[in-house]
A and B are shown apart, each in its own frame.
Chain A
Amino acid sequence: MKVLVNGRELELGGDATVARLLETLEFAGSYALVERNGEPVERARYSQVELAEGDTLVVARPVAGG
């Protein structure tokens, strides 16, 4: 299945969840902030929310700022 993550097309396995996506991206930070098709995804639901073909995702994180 193809999804768009931060503007880049990625190929994922058929039963991919948000948590699986973060593993694929090797995201190691304490806070992964995820938006799926314009809606924020609750952290507690990362392993339950299943992705679908054509989903548009934003993966963000806290960075240095004032």
Chain B
Amino acid sequence: MQDPLVIAGRSFRSRLITGTGKYDSFETMRDAVVASACELVTVAVRRLDLDSPGEDITSFLPDEILLLPNTAGSETADEAVRIARLARAGGLPNWIKLEVIPDPRYLLPDPVETLKAAAQLVEEGFTVLPYVQPDPVLQKRLEEVGCAAVMPLASPIGSGRGMKLRDAIRIMVEQAEVPLVVDAGLGAPSHAAEALELGADAVLVNTAIARAGDPVAMAGAFRLAVEAGRAAFLAGTIAQQETAEPSSPVAGVVR
């Protein structure tokens, strides 16, 4: 495999991770996941509705896809740990997207509770991928307790505003010792390309695909953008400068 994304010793060809939320149907979700060529998808964990159990989302996903359960809905470390333990005991992978979110307006994660839960879950043998605000100091603390990746938000979940917190993410890229996955707020393929060009190892996208006019086509567009962004990062983008520099020879001009 050429230039794989490696998280906790597992290699992925794709640097695009997708969420399964907000699709109009599981069929569209499945087709978008396939079009995205992603190999890792997030799922949430919820109580079974005894009156209306509904369909099993996992039956719509290709077998080779790794499921990444999240702890969405938890507002404290204890709640997140409870969801992770429940998911693993029931046979889901021991990978967990750790999100501890007490704030309903901006859905910003609680760094203190996230760090506490991360340490506990790593101790219990989970592969922990925490969702965080782009804080380079918190990143180091999460790496120290053994997180497998760190996932800073680009802008608030579902906002589609793109790399608003670019400068902090750039610092995180510079000092990352485990993969950095830009998660949340990416609204267009160009935003994903920007994250990869900057040196992020991967991106996680949900709303921008699921709520697009044509989710399956948009999934394909994100796949291309992620590939382009990574290729550009490896190729080395030019340094920016304030003034112009001609691309044609300045000598021998015919006038």
How does the 8 Å CB contact mask read for A26-53 relative to B, with 1 for contact and 0 for none?
Answer: 1111111111000011110000000000
Interface centre among A32, A40, A60, A62 (most CB of B within 10 A): A62
Query: Would you call B72 and A59 a contact (CB within 8 A)?
Result: no
CA distance A61 to B58 in the complex (A): 10
CA distance A29 to B55 in the complex (A): 7
How does the 8 Å CB contact mask read for B59-79 relative to A, with 1 for contact and 0 for none?
Answer: 100000001011010000000
Residue of A8, A29, A63 touching B59 (CB-CB under 8 A): A29
CA distance A6 to B48 in the complex (A): 8
Residue of B42, B50, B85, B92 touching A65 (CB-CB under 8 A): B42
CA distance A50 to B90 in the complex (A): 16
A56 CB, min distance to chain B CBs, angstroms: 13
| B23 on interface, CB distance cutoff 8 Å | yes
CA distance A65 to B59 in the complex (A): 15
CA distance A30 to B206 in the complex (A): 23
| B87 on interface, CB distance cutoff 8 Å | yes
- In the complex, which residues of chain B have a beta carbon less than 8 angstroms from the beta carbon of A28? 53, 56
Query: Would you call A35 and B86 a contact (CB within 8 A)?
Result: yes
- In the complex, which residues of chain A have a beta carbon less than 8 angstroms from the beta carbon of B42? 65-66
Query: Would you call B89 and A42 a contact (CB within 8 A)?
Result: yes
| B212 on interface, CB distance cutoff 8 Å | no
| B157 on interface, CB distance cutoff 8 Å | yes
Q: Contacts A6-B48, A40-B90 given: A66-B70 contact, CB under 8 Å?
A: yes
Query: Would you call B92 and A31 a contact (CB within 8 A)?
Result: yes
| B246 on interface, CB distance cutoff 8 Å | no
Q: Contacts A30-B58, A60-B47 given: A66-B21 contact, CB under 8 Å?
A: yes
- In the complex, which residues of chain A have a beta carbon less than 8 angstroms from the beta carbon of B89? 33-34, 40-43
CA distance A34 to B184 in the complex (A): 30
Q: Contacts A66-B42, A66-B70 given: A33-B22 contact, CB under 8 Å?
A: no
| B46 on interface, CB distance cutoff 8 Å | yes
| A5 on interface, CB distance cutoff 8 Å | yes
- In the complex, which residues of chain A have a beta carbon less than 8 angstroms from the beta carbon of B228? none
Query: Would you call A63 and B43 a contact (CB within 8 A)?
Result: yes
Query: Would you call A65 and B70 a contact (CB within 8 A)?
Result: yes
CA distance A32 to B91 in the complex (A): 8
Residue of A5, A27, A63, A66 touching B46 (CB-CB under 8 A): A63
CA distance A66 to B42 in the complex (A): 6
CA distance A65 to B21 in the complex (A): 4
Residue of A26, A34, A63, A65 touching B90 (CB-CB under 8 A): A34
Interface centre among A5, A25, A29, A33 (most CB of B within 10 A): A33
- In the complex, which residues of chain B have a beta carbon less than 8 angstroms from the beta carbon of A25? 48, 50, 53
